Amino acid sequence: MDIIELNRLVHTPIKQNIGCTIHNTKEELLCGNLSADLQDLLEQRGVLVFPQIEFTDAEQVAFTKMMGQFLPEIDGEEVYNISLDSKVNRKSEYLKGSLYWHIDGTMNKRPIGAAILSSKKLPTWGGNTEFCNTYAAYEALDDDTKRQIEHLHVAHSAWTTLFYYNPEPDQTKLKEMMAIGETELPLVWTHKSGRKSLVLGATAHHVIGMNWTESASLLNSLREWATSESFRYSHEWKLGDAVMWDNTGTMHRAMPYDPDCGRLLRRTKTAGVEPII
């Protein structure tokens, strides 16, 4: 294979506003020559799909490092098991929140940059991962709505997500989640690039200074808009697939599946490069 071929990124769009399928071989991806083009495409399209690329853990880590500053888990793990099996992931209870639209790391000073999932074991049913493009969703809003939300801020907390999957938690669990803390974020994120995206998801509790009924209605309507068909892509996993997404310009969620089926995805991620401002 010559250098010209190695330097050419081959891809096709999945939908008008989100997603691209990458057709390059694993060898081409791991050589590093395509990293800059992939980074640009990821920012434009939000989600990149690598059909049945079959990354090993070591290859996935190496590829992730080509896409930005590698971000290990808090305990130092390079690769994280996405599984509801407590034997595979001792924090599997926390992953129940992943069944609802969210951005990873809203509680961090800088949210996670990009993330990659590889499929290692398929579910018996369900289990698609869905993504929505929050850049495109913002850009398609009418001017009146943009003016209405331009300067609004929203209270975010990890404990807010608890009530999505456990409406009546015991006090110990609630205090455990509350200990993670809270933060206040703009509803519209103005990125260093100048582009803007919506900051929504399951951690969003209420709009600061707004009547709670009006706040709930606004956040719900924007979530419904951002996750509507025009901006959403649902990935049906095949064994060996890898999917990478721009966590700063998308939301994602897992669709319901049998919690006892052993579904397993392996995740790696890069550090974010800018705070939400």
Residues of the chain with pLDDT under 70: 1-6
| pLDDT number for residue 148 | 98
CATH number for position 109: 3.60.130.10
Residue 276 lies in a domain: no
pLDDT at res. 7: 72
Q: Domain residues for 53?
A: 3-269
- Written in H, E and C, the secondary structure of 207-268 is ECCCCHHHHHHHHHHHHHHHCCHHHEEEECCCCCCEEEEECCCEEEEECCECCCCCCEEEEE
Number of domain units in the chain: 1
pLDDT of residue 91: 85
| Per-residue confidence (pLDDT) for residue 216, from 0 to 100 | 98
The answer to whether position 162 is within a domain reads yes
In a domain, 46, yes or no: yes
Asked if the structure places residue 274 within a domain, the reply is no
pLDDT at 74: 86
Strands in 250-254's sheet, in edge-to-edge order, are 232-235, 129-133, 250-254
- Of 254, 13, 18, which is closest to residue 132 (Cα–Cα)? 18
In whole angstroms, what separates CA 252 from the centre of its chain? 5
Mean of the per-residue pLDDT values of the chain: 95
**For residue 111, is it within any domain?**
yes
Token pair of 256, please? 């319901």
Assigned domain for 211 exists: yes
Q: Distance between CA atoms of 259 and 35, rounded to whole angstroms?
A: 36
pTM equals 0.95
Determine, yes or no, domain membership for 118.
yes
Q: What is the pLDDT of residues 203-259, one digit of tens each?
A: 999 999 999 999 999 999 999 999 999 999 999 999 999 999 999 999 999 999 999
3-class state of residue 84 by DSSP: coil
User: Is 203 a domain residue?
Assistant: yes
